[in-house]
């Protein structure tokens, strides 16, 4: 565990576990969380002989709470700083939710790193917000409400999201876990309100469609069919159609936060992809 300073002077926190000569997996977390959200994957893949790396995005978790740079370009450049510092070029990059957008932007913005493969889990690409040429997207008012609630009463909102749609705990027959909800809240409240508010625009309004067409490396797309936060039909399904070399696995009933609640299944399918 340590810190690296980016070219624009931001301290980025990272975890680096496992043998230095082992195959590397770099994990990118979702909004508004931290590298801790990958606990179930970090422990599993270390046990399988991999070197695992996960960083907190700027303004999130233990990284510096700067007021600017909360966009996909800066997120990708911050990743490049960690990769360069640790010398882990050629890794497999795995992103959940917003982190999936970071994976796409890192691959396309930093071609000097010959990434081995990418994995998008419940990820925001290709484009979430509804526009004239993306008519089945989500109305911008939804994300405006997200920003309003984050800015005005973040503590309450960061309870309501995991207690409701993030893990499908608001659905009939789904038993809520208070510790899982509390851990989501803990991670969110570690970060900065400015980063979280700006990050909503980054994950909802960034258009990845054109750049995804040029990603030729193997890409695994994992998505829950009952994802209430990033709906499968507008995200995972479309990403698999756009990416030239994609493998899609969808899961009936799985929620947005499936790396936590469905870790056994996600880890198994990710391991199979890595050992293909």
Question: Among residues 34, 97, 204, 235, which one is catalytic?
Answer: 97
The pair of structure tokens assigned to 74 is 């800066």
Of 112, 140, 137, the C-alpha closest to 125 is 137
The residues facing 120 across adjacent strands are 95, 221
**3-state SS, residue 51:** strand
Q: 223 catalytic, yes or no? A: no
The residues facing 16 across adjacent strands are 53
Count of Cβ atoms closer than 10 Å to residue 45 Cβ? 24
**Cα–Cα dist 121/97, whole Å:** 6
**Cα–Cα dist 70/244, whole Å:** 29
Q: 110 catalytic, yes or no? A: no
Of 264, 207, 261, the C-alpha closest to 238 is 207
Q: 97 catalytic, yes or no? A: yes
CB 260 within 8 A of CB 37: yes
- Residues designated catalytic: 97, 227, 256
């Amino acid at each position: 565990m340590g810190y690296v300073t980016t070219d624009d002077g931001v301290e980025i926190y990272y975890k680096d576990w496992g043998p230095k000569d082992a195959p590397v997996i770099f994990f990118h977390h979702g909004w508004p969380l931290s590298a801790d959200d990958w606990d179930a994957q970090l422990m599993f893949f270390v046990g399988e002989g991999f070197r695992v790396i996960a960083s907190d995005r700027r303004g999130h978790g233990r990284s510096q709470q700067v007021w600017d740079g909360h966009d996909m370009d800066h997120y990708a450049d911050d990743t490049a700083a960690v990769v360069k510092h640790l010398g882990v070029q050629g890794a497999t990059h795995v992103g959940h939710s917003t982190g999936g957008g970071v994976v796409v932007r890192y691959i396309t913005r930093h071609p000097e790193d010959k990434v081995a493969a990418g994995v998008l889990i419940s990820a925001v690409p290709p484009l979430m917000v509804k526009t004239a040429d993306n008519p089945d997207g989500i109305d911008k008012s939804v994300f405006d409400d997200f920003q309003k609630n984050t800015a005005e009463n973040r503590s309450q909102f960061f309870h309501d999201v995991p207690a409701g749609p993030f893990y499908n705990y608001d659905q009939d027959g789904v038993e809520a876990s208070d510790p899982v909800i509390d851990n989501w809240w803990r991670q969110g409240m570690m970060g900065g309100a400015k980063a979280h508010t700006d990050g909503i625009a980054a994950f909802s309004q960034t258009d990845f469609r054109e750049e995804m067409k040029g990603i030729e490396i193997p890409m695994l797309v994992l998505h829950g069919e009952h994802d209430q936060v990033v709906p499968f039909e507008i995200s995972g399904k479309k990403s698999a159609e756009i990416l030239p070399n994609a493998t899609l696995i969808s899961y009936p009933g799985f929620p947005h936060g499936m790396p936590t609640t469905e870790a056994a299944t996600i880890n198994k399918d990710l391991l199979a992809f890595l050992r293909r």
